[in-house]
Amino acid sequence: MIDISAEISGIHFNSCIYNASGPLDATLDELNNIGYSNACGILMKSCTILPREGNPEPRYKDIDGGSINSMGLPNMGYKYYLDIIPSLMKFNKPVIASIAGQNLDEYKQMIEAFNSSKVDILEINLSCPNIVGKPQIGYDFEMSEEIIKMCREVSKKPWGLKLPPYFDFVHFEQMASILNGSKPDFIVCINSIGNALFIDWEKEQVVIKPKGGFGGLGGKYIKPTALANVRKFYELLNKNIKIIGVGGIYTGVDAFEFILSGASLLQLGTSFAQEGPKVFQRVSEELKSVMIQKGYQNLQDFKGKLKVID
Phi and psi at 8, nearest 5°, equal -130, 115
- Is 143 marked as a binding-site residue? no
Answer left, alpha or beta for residue 275, where phi above 0 means left and psi between -120 and 50 means alpha.
alpha
Nearest 10 degrees: CA dihedral of 218, 223, 226, 228? -150
Residues 16, 47, 128, 189: which is the catalytic one?
Answer: 128
Integer CA distances (angstroms), 303 to 103, 108, 129, in order: 36, 34, 30
Q: Is the dihedral of CA 162, 108, 41, 178 positive or negative?
A: positive
CA distance 203 to 267: 34
- Is 68 marked as a binding-site residue? no
- Is 9 marked as a binding-site residue? no
The SS3 of residue 74 is coil
Show the beta-strand stretches assigned E in 186-298: 186-189, 193-197, 199-200, 205-206, 214-219, 242-246, 265-268
- Is 73 marked as a binding-site residue? yes
Q: Is the dihedral of CA 197, 172, 187, 181 positive or negative?
A: negative
- Is 182 marked as a binding-site residue? no
- Is 138 marked as a binding-site residue? no
Q: Which of 95, 88, 87, 105 is nearest to 49 (CA)?
A: 105
- Is 180 marked as a binding-site residue? no
- Is 21 marked as a binding-site residue? yes
- Is 298 marked as a binding-site residue? no
- Is 252 marked as a binding-site residue? no
- Is 192 marked as a binding-site residue? yes
- Is 248 marked as a binding-site residue? yes
**128 assigned to active site:** yes
Angle at 101 between CA 96 and CA 102, to 5 degrees: 160
Positions marked active-site:
128
Q: Which residues are annotated as a binding site?
A: 21, 45-46, 69-73, 125, 162, 190-192, 219, 247-248, 269-270
Per the annotation, binding residues for substrate are: 45, 69-73, 125, 191-192
